[in-house]
Amino acid sequence: MPRIPPRLTRNARELRGNATSAERKLWRILSTCRPRFTRQYVVGSYIVDLACREVKLAVEFDGSQHQENTAYDAERTPFLVSLGWRVLRFWISTVSENPD
């Protein structure tokens, strides 16, 4: 597997450190689950909010920034799917209200 560019590693660490309250709520639930989930996982040149590598499941939290970056998401999702990933998207407000 190719090495992850240092820029993406730094970005993923920063995103983990600055998680939204919705991401933290859901992480508290999923961090004890098996198969295991990883936060801010790098796939290609993209960073997935939550990933279960074992079953190639990507969980994305969409907030207001996603309304402005629809082109970015339109590229990222097909790329992940082409690698065999299944992508689930949730609005941050929905996860905040009901993390279960």
Q: Which of 79-84's residues contact partners 24+ apart within 8 Å by CB, and which partners? A: 79/44, 79/46, 80/43, 80/44, 80/46, 80/48, 83/43, 83/44, 83/56, 84/56
Q: Is the pLDDT of residue 1 over 70?
A: no
All structural domains of the chain: 6-97 (3.40.960.10)
pTM of the model: 0.75
pLDDT grade for 26, boundaries at 50, 70 and 90: confident
For the segment 76-96, what is each residue's pLDDT rounded down to a tens digit? 899 999 999 999 998 888 888
